[in-house]
Structure 1
């Protein structure tokens, strides 16, 4: 005997097995079941329409502009580096020419002074005249040659690799390292220094073996004291107390002092 329709209290003979729920349904309940499924499409259509409106209203230009700003900063930085190298090489070129001109000017001054001395002394010789004449002719040749100088400028093509710029999507709460300011300074840590550090709005407190050091905003040591208590496992900053397992240090922010 065939099973009845899966719908409770229905005694009709089932006609089909629903593919989605695997129920044996009679023709009437199959149609109702199908109508119910179709009716669930209408809310989905409304959701799709709402998402289309949301997509249309997205301010993608703001996202694009923010990202393009980073690219433009990179481009401007590259232009500055190219301009800097260009100006440097122009100065080198000017220096080469100016050195040659200055060299001839010094020689001219020397000869001029020599002639003036001979005139003032009212005494000279044929040898002096011949030597001065020869020197002047050579100076004339040297000066004319300066205008004929040619330079061979050897340049290498600027190779731009596509990997210079990497575009990576970041989530809303993910740290974007590109938003961090450039490195302000570097503090070299001696071997044996403990890793933890802490700070307030004026000073950075770190362990620089064998001392405990306060650095100011200019990365200069404002105060240091010898630390004799072994490895520092953690640090925290308080306006009056710094507490660790070995000691309690009372600090005076106005005098940059630390007292155990």
Structure 2
């Protein structure tokens, strides 16, 4: 039996099921419903046209400029490493030649003294003459070798593959400490091990008494070498030198990634140091004293002091700079005030030391241990608070983003790669993931 159209006041017979409202409608109302649906297509056309115009006006250069700058920075870093390596090998060649020349100079002086002795004594033998003649002939031969070729140089071509630069679609995200996982790797620290640590995204440098050790991303120990140079105040990585920099009480040491050698840097003045950090061109070092100073060392061709910032530019008379960290043309300073026993974190310009922002921290400084901080993705900062056993996450504009309790008490930390956090406690080193 035929049904009437359910639309109010419509007496026509229903002729079909409407997909829109699931009602059996007459032909007229079916047509009206269809017209309404078609009308909803018009705004889509407008949106598509607007998106098309937006695509046509996009400036690719503006979008990719930051990425190009990062690639440019990578290229500049590679050039610096090659230039540093080149200069080091040139110095090696010069040293070899100078050693040979000095050796021959000594031989020449010895022969000259023998001749002078014979002349002064007005007495000699045929054996003396033959011996001197032989010595001079041998010296001539050796000097000819210097003027021609005294060593060979073997080189290998520098091979660069695509894995050196990996372009990923994922963008840098801000970390949230609330997603900090339970430690999935724990390493016991021997007694009297120094707490500072440094990484270069691939390897981590730690002191594990009595050795200084290199670990990989999974905290597997790769290499170790005895450390007999006293207290370690701080460490950092220099991409320009391709070396770790280890700060002693009043000495600076360079350690190659292969840990073949530990080289002490020769400096004119050796104040009492406390913290260090590197840019591409400078090593920043703060002094272990009230009204702390900051000294900038040129990295190449040799580590040499070229700039110094002092009180009152650095801090107040009753202030003490606990830590200094370089990041993207800026320095973060952890500063303790002796009068108030308070702590603050400041972001400064690395070139002028002008203050960009300053954040007082709710921390009462009781123990005589340096407070440290480290960088996180998104230009944020992480402070291990050993006084109350917690972490403070600071935003890039100087606000507290997150505070979490942490046990055992954290003293040092570093973001190892994009989603790993290494934490140094009193007796252990813990590895976490951050989502």
- TM-score higher than 0.5: yes
Q: What is the CA distance between 1:73 and its match in structure 2? A: 0.4
- Could you tell me whether the CA contact under 8 Å between 2:333 and 2:345 is conserved in 1? no
Partner of 1:181: 328
Q: What is the CA distance between 1:85 and its match in structure 2? A: 1.2
Partner of 1:42: 42
Task: Please identify which structure carries the higher helix content.
Answer: 1
**Larger mean Cα displacement after TM superposition, 155-164 or 117-126:** 155-164
Partner of 1:211: 368
TM-score by length of 2: 0.41
Query: In 2, distance between residues paired with 1:46 and 1:235?
Result: 51
Partner of 2:22: 22
Q: Which runs of 5+ in 1 are unaligned?
A: 188-195, 216-229, 237-260
- Could you tell me whether the CA contact under 8 Å between 1:18 and 1:25 is conserved in 2? yes
Partner of 2:112: 112
TM-score by length of 1: 0.65
Any idea what SS the aligned residue of 1:199 has? strand
Offset from partner CA, 1:73-114 (integer Å, 9 cap, x none): 011101211221122122212322332232122212321232
Query: In 2, distance between residues paired with 1:203 and 1:117?
Result: 79
Partner of 2:170: 169
The verdict on how the C-alpha distance between 1:74 and 1:204 changes in structure 2, with shifts beyond 3 A counting, is farther
- Could you tell me whether the CA contact under 8 Å between 2:343 and 2:365 is conserved in 1? no
Higher relative CO (Cα under 8 Å, sequence separation at least 6) belongs to 2
Partner of 2:2: 2
The verdict on how the C-alpha distance between 1:212 and 1:145 changes in structure 2, with shifts beyond 3 A counting, is closer
The verdict on how the C-alpha distance between 1:184 and 1:122 changes in structure 2, with shifts beyond 3 A counting, is farther
The verdict on how the C-alpha distance between 1:101 and 1:185 changes in structure 2, with shifts beyond 3 A counting, is farther
Q: Which runs of 5+ in 2 are unaligned?
A: 176-325, 335-341, 347-354, 373-385, 393-435
Query: In 2, distance between residues paired with 1:85 and 1:66?
Result: 28
- Could you tell me whether the CA contact under 8 Å between 1:12 and 1:26 is conserved in 2? yes
- Could you tell me whether the CA contact under 8 Å between 2:364 and 2:387 is conserved in 1? no
Partner of 2:345: 199
The verdict on how the C-alpha distance between 1:26 and 1:62 changes in structure 2, with shifts beyond 3 A counting, is same
- Could you tell me whether the CA contact under 8 Å between 1:15 and 1:24 is conserved in 2? yes
The verdict on how the C-alpha distance between 1:117 and 1:94 changes in structure 2, with shifts beyond 3 A counting, is same
Q: Does 1:72 align with 2:229?
A: no
Query: In 1, distance between residues paired with 2:24 and 2:367?
Result: 83
**Larger mean Cα displacement after TM superposition, 148-157 or 82-91:** 148-157
Mark the structure with the bigger radius of gyration.
Answer: 1
Q: What is the CA distance between 1:70 and its match in structure 2? A: 1.0
Any idea what SS the aligned residue of 2:150 has? coil
Offset from partner CA, 1:113-159 (integer Å, 9 cap, x none): 32233324433222321211111121122222332434152547545
- Could you tell me whether the CA contact under 8 Å between 1:203 and 1:214 is conserved in 2? no
The verdict on how the C-alpha distance between 1:154 and 1:66 changes in structure 2, with shifts beyond 3 A counting, is closer
Query: In 1, distance between residues paired with 2:45 and 2:20?
Result: 20
Query: In 2, distance between residues paired with 1:137 and 1:81?
Result: 44
Query: In 2, distance between residues paired with 1:235 and 1:90?
Result: 48
CA-based RMSD: 3.9
The verdict on how the C-alpha distance between 1:7 and 1:185 changes in structure 2, with shifts beyond 3 A counting, is closer
